[in-house]
Amino acid sequence: MPDQHSLAEVERATRERVQHLPLDFTASHALLSLYRAANAVRGRLTNSVLRPNDLTWTGFLVLWTLWIWDSMETREVAESVGISKGTLTGVSKTLLSRGLLERIPSTVDRRLVNLKLSPEGVRLMEQIYPEFNKTESTVVGDLDKVQLTSMTDALRTLVETSERY
């Protein structure tokens, strides 16, 4: 692993730097850990599973979402994956060109376009996801059941609080 400053070191340095300000260090450290953890997990999954299959993180999330929900309007896919509509247009173009996706224009409302996994897309997900999930399992392997459940609950609360507005 790189010589990245450990989280503990960063926190100590932070306190020294802004000691005189009335800050919420607990919040700051929690969210720094959150950001680092998300980044680390994403990198790990990307390198070990996605890149060998020539998939990007976002591309995989789009495929996974369509795999779970079968068919969706592009607007819903973007929301579900957490990217903008414009970004989805680009990503789905990439996946479309690889034959992993199908576009199905709505007959009811001609503004709408539905996305759907192609048979090849389904095959790819059936092949990749077990491997992806195995790595996920490894990544959380150092947490016991109580810690993991508690963390998941806390993260859900964070999502709700952050998105409230």
Partner DNA sequence: GGATTATTGTTCGGATCCAAACGATTGGAA
Partner DNA sequence: TTCCAATCGTTTGGATCCGAACAATAATCC
107 φ/ψ angles, rounded to the nearest 5 degrees: -85, -20
Minimum separation from the CB atom of position 75 to a copy of itself (A): 9
For the segment 70-89, give every residue that binds DNA (CB under 7 A): 73-75, 78, 82-89
Whether 41 contacts 139, CB under 8 Å: yes
For the segment 47-66, give every residue that binds DNA (CB under 7 A): 47, 51, 56-59
- Rule CB under 7 A: is residue 110 a binding residue for DNA? yes
- Rule CB under 7 A: is residue 92 a binding residue for DNA? yes
Helix axes 25-45, 7-17, angle to 10 degrees: 150
- Rule CB under 8 A: is residue 112 a binding residue for a copy of itself? no
Joined together, the tokens standing for residue 5 give 């400053």
Stretch that binds a copy of itself, among 92-100, 101-109, 112-120, 125-133 (CB under 8 A): 125-133
Stretch that binds DNA, among 4-12, 108-116, 123-131, 150-158 (CB under 7 A): 108-116
- Rule CB under 8 A: is residue 116 a binding residue for a copy of itself? no
* Of residues 78, 115, 111, the one with CA closest to residue 96: 115
Report which secondary-structure segment, H or E, holds 8. Answer: helix 7-17
